[in-house]
Amino acid sequence: MGTDFVIAAIITIIGISTPILLAGLGELVVEKAGVLNLGVEGMMLIGAITGFAVTVMTGNPWLGVLGAAAGGALSALLFGFFVLTLNSNQVATGLALTIFGTGLSSLIGLSFVGRIVPQFGSSFPPALSRDPIGRLFFSYSPLVYFALAMVFVVAWFLRRTRSGLILRAVGENDLSAHSIGYSVIGVRYLAVAFGGAMAGIGGAYFSLVITPMWAERMTSGRGWIALALVVFASWKAGRLLIGSLFFGVLMWLELNAKAGGLSFMPYAGSIPSQFWAAMPYLMTVVVLALISMRDRGGSSAPACLGKPFLPAT
Amino acid sequence: MRIKLEKRPDPSRLMLVVTPIASVLLTMLLGVIVFDALGIDGQRAVIDIFLTPLLASYKWQDVAVKAAPLIIIGLGLSIGNRANVWNIGAEGQYVIGALCAAGVGIAAGPVGGPLVIAAMIMAGIVGGGAWAAVPAVLKTRLGVNEILSTLMFTYVALQVLSYLVGGPFKDPNGRNFPATAPLTADQTLPLLPFTSVHLGVGVALVLPFLFWFLMSRSVFGYQIRVVGAAPHAARHGGFDGNQTVWLALLIGGGMAGLAGALEFTGALKTINLGFPSGYGFTAIIVAFLGRLHPIGVLIAGIVLAVTYVGGQVAQTTVHIPNATAGIFQAMMLFFILASDIFVRYRVRFIGSPKSAVSPAAPAPAAGE
Amino acid sequence: MAKLNRRAFIAAAGAAAAVLPLTGNAFAQEKLKVGFVFLGPIGDYGWTWAHNKGREAVDAALGDQVETIYVENVAEDASAIPVFRDLAQQGCKLIFGATYGYMDQMVQVAAEFPDVKFEHCTGFKRADNLATYNSRFHEGRAVLGTIAGKMSKSGVMGYLGSYKVPEVVLGVNSFILAAQKQNPAATLKLVFIDSWFDPPKEAAATETLLNLGCDLVTTHTDSPAALQILEQRGLYGFGQGADMSSFAPNAHLTAIEDIWGPYYIERVQAVLDGTWASADTWDGIADGTVVISPYNPAIPADVVALAEEVKAGYVAGTYDVFTGPIYDTEGTLRVKDGEILPLSDLAVMDWFVKGVETAA
């Protein structure tokens, strides 16, 4: 197991982690505002196809990312309209959004199958990533650095800004936030739209960066992992970054187990790849159980998560 | 003009029945518009998805076979939802149920007959229930949110499936394709002559009435309804919240497991990686579209099955992807959920020159 | 029904049928209807795309007597059953199912419609009205392996597999045996992704193979995802099913193109003539079913010559990559010196030759 192998593995893991980090950051803000949007997978798919379509039409992947964000945000606002304005059930509406997004992206994607798009240039001068250490830091797609930056932005926003405080207040106790005079619904709309935009960019990472093409259901369930990730990180942005890398390691282990590449780990060779694939979900349940044990009633999870806002009028 | 909502003292009975029908009709109408906007013959697509399966008699058996698991899972979920217990992991319970049935079938070897079939189906119910029991323990002991835990367990179940059909359960004569050996003729459910309609369809027709009776006549049904409607009052009334959680999850999981076992022994006869086809998630739509009422679930299950079968028809006729049927399924659910507002509230329009700031709701798909 | 038929006809016959007069409906009834069921989207630029080209060839050759209908994105599970049944009920007299996983479904539907002819690609279960057809892709894999043996610097190559079914096992063995003729030390790392078409998984698996030291990856899955990863890394690979060079102009050395048109035309003609009979057909390079795409200019001329030699050997019947001695991964001699594995053994092959490393 040489340095080159470790560095190559880390580069792959960061690549795998990025889309779930992007989508997870969005969902984190949504859930902090007290809304549970289970439609992440659907929004990612919509982002993947809108991002791809815009890139095909404009020839510019950066505009594609903007398109993906817009597509994701629009589909999230559709969800928002139902759950926030019409007070419909969040769990069921979120699932409907995933089914909707899967179908709509397949339909829009019909005319984009087999198309080729221009790709992002390298983020830094290629000279920087000539040696392995340079590659470790400078060889990624611009979206990877964007995702990293967003970790700090989201953490700073939630913890240090007034708006972040209001958002958390809305998620923790919507009625008192309302009585102080904040617009609970307005805040939640913004949060939901942000979540959709981030999920959309996460989806575009598939159609513009990993494999620059369109294929039906190409996010292959990563939206659900992103949902697990938010819980795994117990609703904290910093832990979300660590969690995404940890999930990335597990997904990397799964692929290596399939390729018979885990011979360097004692006993790991005989563990079926499915074990590694199931681990993110199992670990999330364990974390959930630990959180619940520590603070029965749960101070980690936003108190209003998933509940409709029903002010007494 | 402003819109004002007034809470109704009691849910509107009329609206309870009218809104699901209106949701389906509105979905069809909007479907035509959206598809035309995307450059696809919308009228044709909607006709093929919603009407062709009903008009072409040779499609009826497909509808019946598709509807059976949706109805059975939907029934179980509607019990949970009534008690405010959110089991969204029916897909995983369905898969585990089928795998347990397959395990019994493999253990039985070449032996068949009604006893073996009954044992397989029982194993399915127990397996599905057991898969839902873990979230039940976590919920009742530790207060773990069942929405998240049941969802996570679904994805664990998919890996269990992948492991078993690619390993211990793999057909030794299948040339290494990851699938179980097809069941022999005397290990499968009886069929209606000259059709693919199996006994499971009969089960799906009978169960709603059984559930109706159970919900309206038994203490259990009363408990479920009371706990769901007013948890605090229920505790005063002597109903144990934890017991309700257990019942709701076990019934939901058991029914999903039953559906999986019936689908395996009646329709598919083999389990491969394509076995989980989303019935567990679609059944959530079925439960809501059926207004959590057993008979409503029966009808809603048929409606959703029509869209599945119709989706395949549209695939051959207008060449739209199979997943497109999902757009319609989702729209129906959106509308039915949104229409709850008409059931619980009376809508009043109040004239006012001051236009309230209302967030722009995008028309689905338009301009994307 | 009538409406459905006409609709399907228009969709399938495409632009040519757009000007179909109103009487076309009655006219259409007299044509032989041929159905095609595809696993992927026809735009996958791989396996399904190639089969659809074959269908278009039928339209072009026999369009005045035949109308073709296709269904794409049909999963390899029970949902395929109603699709086959549908085509039969719509009046198709000949139906092709173009992936291994339709096998039991086609057996079942074929039994329900004894007067409809069915043809299953890469399967092995037959009936009086169910034929199987396959292509000796492994001949093409031997050409690719020959090139790979020369082009891989490290001698460690990656193979992206779908399932461990005989067709893939054959491809793996053929590829590495041919490579070892050029570089006796060549080894192959094999990963199965349990899917024929899953671009993100194909991409991730390709990266994994590269991390494990492979400097060349060939695929037995249907999307160009692996090639796109190789292009990003400046490494080489091959296309599968079709020329995929537009997705990866530098990485794409060449590809195996599946040419189904001649076979499809022949079988449709047989139905028209009333001479169709159930059979098991395996055509290869000599029959024009397996075609090698134009070579990437990056391949040196002497390597091209070696590849052409293998091709010519298959046409002349003087070359077979499965000529002994062949050892399996355990080192057991499986094929004696000078012997050639017969097609019947190849059809059920489930062991890997020496030099293949896999967890499966």
B251 has pLDDT over 90: yes
The domain spans of chain A are 3-220
Is B220 or C170 the better-scoring residue by pLDDT? C170
Size of chain B, expressed as the number of residues it contains = 368
pLDDT at position B229 is 67
Q: Which residues of C touch B58 (CB under 8 A)?
A: 85, 89
Among C120, C135, C150, the domain boundary falls at C135
Q: ipTM score of the complex?
A: 0.89
CB-nearest to C223 from A5, A215, A222 is: A215
Cα separation of the two ends of chain C: 48
Q: Above pLDDT 90, what percent of chain B?
A: 47
- What's the pLDDT band for B338 if we cut at 50, 70, 90? confident
| B271: DSSP letter | -
- What's the pLDDT band for B236 if we cut at 50, 70, 90? low
- Interface contact B318, partner A, CB < 8 A: no
What is the mean pLDDT of the segment spanning A52-65? 96
Is A191 or A111 the better-scoring residue by pLDDT? A191
| B344: DSSP letter | H
Question: What is the C-alpha to C-alpha distance for residues B337 and B50, in angstroms, rounded to an integer?
Answer: 20
Q: Are C228 and C239 in contact (CB under 8 A)?
A: no
Please state, rounded to an integer, the average pLDDT across all residues of chain C: 87
pLDDT at position B234 is 62
What is the interface size between A and B, counted as CB pairs within 8 Å? 176
C154 has pLDDT over 50: yes
C45 has pLDDT over 90: no
Question: What is the C-alpha to C-alpha distance for residues B35 and B47, in angstroms, rounded to an integer?
Answer: 12
pLDDT at position B355 is 42
pLDDT at position C163 is 87
pLDDT at position A269 is 67
Q: Which residues of A touch B341 (CB under 8 A)?
A: 86-88
Same domain, C117 and C180: no
CB-nearest to B147 from A91, A98, A221 is: A91
What is the mean pLDDT of the segment spanning A204-225? 90
pLDDT at position B38 is 79
CB pair distance less than 8 Å for C191 and A259: yes
Q: Identify the chains in contact with C, defined as 3+ C-beta pairs within 8 A.
A: A, B
Q: Which of A40-44, A88-92, C265-269 is predicted with the least confidence, judged by mean pLDDT?
A: A88-92
Question: What is the C-alpha to C-alpha distance for residues A20 and A6, in angstroms, rounded to an integer?
Answer: 22
Query: What tokens appear for C280 in the block?
Result: 């098991």
C33 has pLDDT over 70: yes
A46 has pLDDT over 60: yes
Residue C272 lies in a domain: no
What is the mean pLDDT of the segment spanning B163-179? 89
Q: Which CATH number does the domain housing residue C96 bear?
A: 3.40.50.2300
CB pair distance less than 8 Å for B284 and A288: no
Query: What tokens appear for C211 in the block?
Result: 């991390």
Question: What is the C-alpha to C-alpha distance for residues B207 and B190, in angstroms, rounded to an integer?
Answer: 18
Burial of B231 per CB tally in 10 Å (0-12, 13-18, 19+)? middle
pLDDT at position B230 is 65
What is the mean pLDDT of the segment spanning B18-35? 90
Amino acid at A257: A
Residue B207 lies in a domain: yes
Question: In terms of DSSP bridges, do strands C187-192 and C156-161 run parallel, antiparallel, or are they unpaired?
Answer: parallel
- Interface contact C111, partner B, CB < 8 A: no
CB pair distance less than 8 Å for C200 and A5: no
B239 has pLDDT over 70: no
The closest alpha carbon to C28, from C47, C7, C42, C45, belongs to: C7
Q: Which residues of B touch A288 (CB under 8 A)?
A: 138, 144-145, 148-149, 152
| 3-state SS, one letter per residue, for chain A | CCHHHHHHHHHHHHHHHHHHHHHHHHHHHHHHCCCCCCCHHHHHHHHHHHHHHHHHHHCCHHHHHHHHHHHHHHHHHHHHHHHHHCCCCHHHHHHHHHHHHHHHHHHHHHHHCCCCCCCCCCCCCHHHHCCHHHHHHHCCCHHHHHHHHHHHHHHHHHHHCHHHHHHHHHHHCHHHHHHHCCCHHHHHHHHHHHHHHHHHHHHHHHHHHHCCCCCCCCCCCHHHHHHHHHHHCCCCHHHHHHHHHHHHHHHHHHHHHHCCCCCCCCCHHHCCHHHHHHHHHHHHHHHHHHHHHHCCCCCCCCCCCCCCCCCCC
C20 has pLDDT over 60: no
Among C135, C154, C182, the domain boundary falls at C135
B363 has pLDDT over 50: no
Question: What is the C-alpha to C-alpha distance for residues A57 and C234, in angstroms, rounded to an integer?
Answer: 27
Question: In terms of DSSP bridges, do strands B345-350 and B2-7 run parallel, antiparallel, or are they unpaired?
Answer: antiparallel
Size of chain C, expressed as the number of residues it contains = 360
Q: Are A244 and A231 in contact (CB under 8 A)?
A: no
Query: What tokens appear for C179 in the block?
Result: 């490579």
- What's the pLDDT band for C82 if we cut at 50, 70, 90? confident
What is the mean pLDDT of the segment spanning C269-286? 93
Distance from CA of residue C79 to its chain's centroid?
22
Q: Are C91 and C36 in contact (CB under 8 A)?
A: no
Please state, rounded to an integer, the average pLDDT across all residues of chain B: 86
| Segment B81-113, tens digit of pLDDT | 888 889 999 999 999 999 999 999 999 988 889
Tally the domains of chain B: 1
Q: Which residues of A touch B329 (CB under 8 A)?
A: 96, 99, 103
- Interface contact C113, partner A, CB < 8 A: no
- Interface contact A7, partner B, CB < 8 A: no
Among C135, C155, C188, the domain boundary falls at C135
Question: What is the C-alpha to C-alpha distance for residues C290 and C50, in angstroms, rounded to an integer?
Answer: 11
Query: What tokens appear for C290 in the block?
Result: 């397996």
CB-nearest to B365 from A97, A104, A186 is: A104
Same domain, C204 and C305: yes
- Consecutive H or E run containing B314: helix B294-317
Name which of C39, C79, C172, C196 to mutate to probe chain B: the one with the most chain B Cβ atoms within 10 A of its Cβ: C79
CB pair distance less than 8 Å for C223 and A211: yes
Q: Above pLDDT 70, what percent of chain A?
A: 95
Q: Are C152 and C183 in contact (CB under 8 A)?
A: yes
Residue B16 lies in a domain: yes
Q: Above pLDDT 70, what percent of chain B?
A: 91
Query: What tokens appear for A134 in the block?
Result: 């340079």
Residue B179 lies in a domain: yes
Q: How many CB atoms lie within 10 A of CB C154?
A: 13
Residue B152 lies in a domain: yes
What is the mean pLDDT of the segment spanning B49-78? 92
CB-nearest to A114 from C43, C190, C205 is: C43
pLDDT at position B324 is 81
| B181: DSSP letter | P
Residue B363 lies in a domain: no
pLDDT at position A260 is 74
- Interface contact A283, partner B, CB < 8 A: no
Distance from CA of C69 to the nearest CA of B (A): 8
Q: Which residues of C touch B277 (CB under 8 A)?
A: 75, 77, 79
CB-nearest to B338 from A86, A221, A281 is: A86
Distance from CA of A115 to the nearest CA of C (A): 9
- What's the pLDDT band for B65 if we cut at 50, 70, 90? very high
Q: Which residues contact A184 (CB under 8 A, 6 or more apart)?
A: A170, A174, A177, A178, A309, A311
Is the N-terminal amide bond of C325 cis, ω within 30° of 0? yes
| Segment A128-168, tens digit of pLDDT | 877 888 888 888 999 999 999 999 999 999 999 999 999 99
Query: What tokens appear for C93 in the block?
Result: 């007299």
A270 has pLDDT over 50: yes
Which C positions 193-252 lie with beta carbon below 8 A of chain B?
194-195
Segments forming the whole domain that contains residue C91 = 2-135
C17 has pLDDT over 90: no
Query: What tokens appear for C239 in the block?
Result: 């296309």
CB pair distance less than 8 Å for C191 and A258: yes
- Consecutive H or E run containing C66: strand C66-71
**What secondary structure does DSSP assign to B21-35, as a single string?**
HHHHHHHHHHHHHHH
- Interface contact B185, partner C, CB < 8 A: no
pLDDT at position C15 is 35
What is the mean pLDDT of the segment spanning B226-238? 65
Question: What is the C-alpha to C-alpha distance for residues C83 and C89, in angstroms, rounded to an integer?
Answer: 10
Q: Which of A242-256, B232-246, B293-307 is predicted with the least confidence, judged by mean pLDDT?
A: B232-246
pLDDT at position B235 is 61
Segments forming the whole domain that contains residue B345 = 2-350
Q: Above pLDDT 90, what percent of chain C?
A: 61
Question: What is the C-alpha to C-alpha distance for residues B191 and B68, in angstroms, rounded to an integer?
Answer: 14
CB-nearest to A258 from C73, C228, C359 is: C359
Residue B358 lies in a domain: no
**What secondary structure does DSSP assign to C135-153, as a single string?**
E-HHHHHHHHHHHHHHH-S
- What's the pLDDT band for B231 if we cut at 50, 70, 90? low
- Consecutive H or E run containing B345: strand B345-350
For residue C244, the chain A residue with the least C-alpha distance is A114
Amino acid at C182: Q
Same domain, C73 and C161: no
- Helix, strand or coil for residue C253? strand
Is C151 or B12 the better-scoring residue by pLDDT? C151
Distance from CA of residue B4 to its chain's centroid?
34
Residue C277 lies in a domain: no
- Helix, strand or coil for residue B178? coil
pLDDT at position A154 is 97
Q: Is B109 left (phi over 0), alpha (psi -120 to 50) or beta?
A: left
Same domain, C191 and C130: no
For residue C357, the chain A residue with the least C-alpha distance is A260
Q: Which CATH number does the domain housing residue B122 bear?
A: 1.10.3470
- What's the pLDDT band for C123 if we cut at 50, 70, 90? confident
Q: Is B170 left (phi over 0), alpha (psi -120 to 50) or beta?
A: beta
Question: What is the C-alpha to C-alpha distance for residues B283 and B96, in angstroms, rounded to an integer?
Answer: 16
Q: Identify the chains in contact with B, defined as 3+ C-beta pairs within 8 A.
A: A, C
Query: What tokens appear for C51 in the block?
Result: 């089969």
- What's the pLDDT band for B351 if we cut at 50, 70, 90? low
For residue B44, the chain C residue with the least C-alpha distance is C7
Alpha carbons within 13 A on the beta-carbon side of C300: 9
C4 has pLDDT over 50: no
Is B216 or A27 the better-scoring residue by pLDDT? A27
| Segment C338-357, tens digit of pLDDT | 899 998 888 888 899 999 98
Burial annotation B59-81 (CB, 10 A radius, 16+ → b, else e): bebbbbbbbbbbbbbbbbbbbbb
pLDDT at position C94 is 96
CB pair distance less than 8 Å for B178 and C194: yes
| Segment C100-116, tens digit of pLDDT | 889 989 998 999 999 99
Q: Which residues pair with B43 in a beta bridge?
A: none
Strand segments (E) across C152-241: 156-161, 187-192, 216-219, 236-241
C296 has pLDDT over 50: yes
CB-nearest to A260 from C45, C49, C358 is: C358
pLDDT at position A70 is 98
Is C20 or C272 the better-scoring residue by pLDDT? C272
Dihedral of alpha carbons C156, C160, C164, C165, sign: negative
What is the mean pLDDT of the segment spanning A97-102? 94
Q: Are B336 and B27 in contact (CB under 8 A)?
A: no
- Interface contact C210, partner A, CB < 8 A: yes
Q: Which residues of A touch B338 (CB under 8 A)?
A: 82, 86, 88
B323 has pLDDT over 50: yes
pLDDT at position B237 is 62
- What's the pLDDT band for B356 if we cut at 50, 70, 90? very low
pLDDT at position A168 is 94
pLDDT at position A312 is 64
Same domain, C84 and C150: no
Question: What is the C-alpha to C-alpha distance for residues B255 and B243, in angstroms, rounded to an integer?
Answer: 18
Collect contacts of B292-295 with beta carbons under 8 A, ≥24 apart.
B292/B78, B292/B81, B292/B82, B293/B78, B293/B212, B294/B75, B294/B78, B294/B207, B294/B208, B294/B209, B294/B211, B294/B212, B294/B215, B295/B208, B295/B209, B295/B212
Same domain, C89 and C157: no
Amino acid at A173: N
pLDDT at position B358 is 41
